[in-house]
Structure 1
Amino acid sequence: MKIVICTMGSRGDVEPYLSLGTELMNLGHEVYISAPAIYRELVGETELRYVEMNSVNPQDMMQIPDIQEAFKSGKMVKSLVLLLKKSKSIIKDFLKEMYKNTQGMDAVITTMILYGAYDGAEKQKVPCLYTLLNPAIPTREFPTVLAPHIPRFLYKMSHKCLDKAFWFCFKKQCNWLRKNEWNLPKLKSCPIDLLKNKKVPILLGYSKEVVPVPADWNENVIVTGYWQRKSKKDYLPNEEVLRFLEASDKPPVYIGFGSMPIGDPEKVVAMLNKALVRSNERAIVYLSYNKNGQYVNNDRVFYTNSISHDWLFPRVRATVIHGGAGTCAASLKAGKPTIVIPFMGDQTFWGERIYKIGAGPKPVLFKDLTAEKLSGLIKEAVTNKSIVENAIRIGEELRSENGSKDAAEIIHSFLHR
């Protein structure tokens, strides 16, 4: 069957679907990945077919100064409102492109931003499956990942409000296109609700070891385990990385914040160096903005702008990360104490989960981070026996899972029922 997976967002939002797509391909399907143009090279590392999206560039959106400032402030509602306002002019183009990329397919796999793709599947009368990389399904056991610190009685409502908020932003233009271009009836309900009511499998690409399955979820909501790509067997970093790793009997820590808006890189680098001196640790530091190599390596710090987490994390002592779901999964799978420094979105939720399962210290927001706080977090992570042991145990559990394969088999069975 021809299957298209419609993805959107950061690299961490796209990469797990490459793993899922590869497993579907192994089951005999012809798999296409619809993703922003900036991920052409990433998709090209696989044997999946690429359907390019040009209507939106997530990295460009995150570089808008107003949005950067809002996210750095930690005010998620303000940040999302601003992001959606800036995106308003491209919503129609986005919807049309998502719709177009589903044409000629036998099945459509969607993510949280399913608008356009859902309509394309409906028009062709082909199955549409809803998937997520976080537990954004209404429950009384925890709140939406975007508002982790709210009263318990609001937990279930918070999930529904998030779905409705996204639908509100797309509803007007989506229904205009359905009437005027796609010849489909007006949608009165959120497509996510419609899919839930159809009782099709809803697949969640994370591990129940990290977030246990709530008792109030329906049986069609399935937590499969993380969807993670493996490094190529012949992968090796450059020799400088190897020499740095071998320069001491004590492994370094890893520090990396992905492509998050960190503000002044000079100040951040100075803070990291001070924290490493205070904690007496070495580190491999990932700087996505160090393309020109302006930061010089030394005996304590090695700077890189490209390295495989799957290869590196088993070789470090602990990780300091921004808390994206994929990076958290890689660190936990490696069995390493994980320090989460959240910036935005679901990162605080994942940081709190890692703290709750005992695999890392309590997260500290990036906007509140200092050299003293970071030094303390590193010391706690590498010396607290309970954290180290829990991280090792959880790593063993996660390495026994194969979420991508399990999810692909569920989809395959559903499509051939």
Structure 2
Amino acid sequence: MKVSLLTFGTRGDVHPFVALGAGLKARGHEVDLATSTDFKAMVEEAGLNFREIPGSGADYFAAPAVIKSIRKSPSSIRTAMVMPRPTVDEVADSLEKMYEAGQDADFMLNNLITRGSGYAGPGVPWGTVSWWPITPTREFRAYKTPDLPLGPAYTRFTHSMAAQLEWAFNRPAVNRFRGRKGLPKVSKSPVGLLGHEQPVFYPYSPHFLPPPADWPEHTHVTGYWYWQRPDRQPPADLVDFLDSGSKPIVLALGSAWPVYGEETLALVRDAVRHAKRRLIVVGGPEGDRPDDEFRVQEVDYGWLFPQVAAVIHGATFGTTADVLRSGVPQVTVPCWADGPYWADRLAELGVSPAPVPFQKMTGEQVRAAVTAVVDDQRYTERAAELGTRVRADRGVETACDLIEAWVRRAEA
């Protein structure tokens, strides 16, 4: 069969789709992966067919107004208001590219930013991926909704609120695209059909966040999607650094480095030295390299993280997945979007101290968190236990099984 995967955003939005695509290809399926040209090399390294979606996810964090907004507040809505915003016609043009990418596929899979490709009517069976729960439940509130003591009815209502917001975002471009195709406009939100008429895939571990009992049949928590990249030799000088002393701590802030900046690096450097540890910085601003610090622009987290004492990160979906798999404790400094959501969950599970929110971060807070994660063995023990369970998940394999079953069902 042929599968079309559509994703857009930062590396954390693309890497899991590459992992799934590689898994499908290993089973003999043909896979197209449509995303921005930022990740063309990664897609082709995995042996997948690259299809372009116009634009660049990296542009979002590079915009001064976005950086300023996130430094004031972690609110995704606030930041969305100042992000570079394409016109309705530009989004409709992108939907055209996604439509073309899915036309000869047996199944199409999208995510948050590309979900409009499903609402637009692709004409092929499709499903969606979400990095956080979007399926209505009475067990917990929708992502980023107010915590009010109004009982289960309110809890479930928050999911309706979130669905309407998503549809309001997608509706103009979806209906513009459908008009070009001679299709009728969609007036009622189709978001509520997800998990019923289209499958929803949550590529995180059920040991990290168990699925609620009231979720519909076609809503699946699969386990994380990890890509076993072709063998690469790690930097020899990094290997030497790891071997030359006690286990260091890693600071990995990914595509959000422009927001965190040199101030965060300085606070973390001070806290790590206070804990009498060495530091590995992945990415980040250029600068001096002290003897107790190693700087690397890119490295395989699956290789590096199991060898360190702890990882300091923003708790975004992708890095959280890699640290959980490694089985090492964490310090979270969330700045926006899903970071605060997952940081709270990590603390609940006992694999990290309480989050240190970026907007209110002080040197004292960072010092306390780093000292706690180094000195308190309970974090290390709990992280190792949870890591064993996460590694036992069959995330990619489970998702492949479900996609194959859905295609067989569609063909029946």
Q: TM-score range by the shorter chain?
A: over 0.9
Q: Are the equivalent residues in 1 in contact too, given 2:335–2:358 (CA < 8 A)? A: yes
| Partner of residue 10, structure 1 | 10
Equivalent in the alignment of 2:65: 66
**Matches of 1:378 and 1:48 in 2, distance apart?**
40
1:139-179 CA-partner distances (Å, limit 9, x unpaired): 22222333485656443333332232122122123212212
1:72–1:53 CA distance, 2 compared to 1 (3 A):
same
Q: Offset of 1:280 from its aligned partner?
A: 1.5
Superposition deviation, residue 392 in structure 1 = 0.6
Are the equivalent residues in 1 in contact too, given 2:311–2:329 (CA < 8 A)? yes
How many angstroms apart in 2 are the aligned matches of 1:157 and 1:392? 37
**Residue 257 of structure 1: which of 249, 253, 260 is its match?**
253
- Structure 1 stretches of 5 or more lacking a match? none
Please give the secondary structure, in 1, of the residue aligned with 2:185. Answer: coil
Match of 2:232 in 1: 235
Q: Distance in 2 between matches of 1:255 and 1:236?
A: 21
1:346 aligns with 2:346: no
Deviation at 1:416, TM superposition (A): 1.5
- Deviation for aligned residue 1:119: 5.0
Question: Paired residue for 2:131?
Answer: 133
Q: Superposition RMSD on alpha carbons, in Å?
A: 2.0
Partner in structure 1 of residue 219 of structure 2: 221
Instruction: Give the residue type in structure 2 aligned to 1:367.
Output: Q
Q: Do the aligned partners of residues 18 and 152 (structure 1) sit closer, same or farther apart at CA in structure 2, a change above 3 Å counting? A: farther
**Secondary structure, aligned partner of 1:409:** helix
Q: Distance in 2 between matches of 1:264 and 1:403?
A: 31
**1:263 Cα deviation after fit:** 4.4
Summarize deviations over 1:193-217 as a string: whole Å, max 9, x none.
234442x432210011111111221
Number of aligned positions between the proteins: 405
Question: Structure 1 residue runs of 4+, over 6 Å off?
Answer: none
**C-alpha deviations, 1:314-361, integer Å up to 9, x for none?**
100001011111111111111100111111111111111111111111
CA change 1:160–1:112 in 2 (3 A) is farther
More displaced, 146-155 or 251-260? 146-155
Bigger drift between 158-167 and 85-94 goes to: 85-94
User: Aligned runs of 1:176-325 on 2, under 5 Å?
Assistant: 176-179=176-179, 181-198=180-197, 200-232=198-230, 234-248=231-245, 250-263=246-259, 265-288=261-284, 290=285, 294-325=286-317
Q: Which amino acid aligns with 1:143?
A: R
The amino acid of 1:117's aligned partner reads: S
Closer/same/farther in 2, CA of residues 228 and 297 from structure 1, 3 Å limit: same
2:388 matches 1:396: yes
- TM, length-normalised to structure 1: 0.91
Contact kept, 8 Å, 1:206 with 1:226, in 2: the verdict is: yes
Judged with a 3 Å threshold, the aligned counterparts in structure 2 of structure 1 residues 152 and 68 are, in CA distance, closer, same or farther, namely: farther
Tell whether 2:43 aligns with 1:31: no
- 1:266, 1:8 → 2: CA distance? 28
* CA distance in structure 1 between the aligned counterparts of 2:214 and 2:119, rounded to whole angstroms: 29
2:354 is matched by which residue type in structure 1? K
Q: How far did residue 3 of structure 1 move? A: 1.2
Are the equivalent residues in 2 in contact too, given 1:253–1:317 (CA < 8 A)? yes
**Which letter maps to 2:373?**
A
Q: TM-score by structure 2 length?
A: 0.92
CA distance in 1, matches of 2:173, 2:23: 35
Following superposition of structure 1 onto structure 2, how do residues 147-186 of structure 1 map, counting pairs within 5 Å? 147=145, 151=149, 153=151, 154-179=154-179, 181-186=180-185
Contact 2:61 2:259 in 1 (8 A): no
1:407 aligns with 2:399: yes
Q: Following the alignment from structure 1 to structure 2, what is the Cα–Cα distance between the partners of residues 225 and 396?
A: 13
Counterpart of 2:363 in structure 1 is 371
Q: Given residue 133 of structure 2, which amino acid in structure 1 is its aligned partner? A: P
Is 2:106 the partner of 1:106? yes
Question: C-alpha distance in 1, partners of 2:267/2:106?
Answer: 52
Asked if the contact 1:123–1:182 (Cα under 8 Å) also holds between the matched residues in 2, the reply is no
Whole-Å separation in 2 of the counterparts to 1:134 and 1:263: 22
Give 1:192 deviation, angstroms.
2.6
Q: Which amino acid aligns with 2:237?
A: E
Contact 1:252 1:317 in 2 (8 A): yes
- Using the aligned pairs only, state the percent identity: 27
> Residue 86 of structure 2 aligns to a residue in which SS?
helix
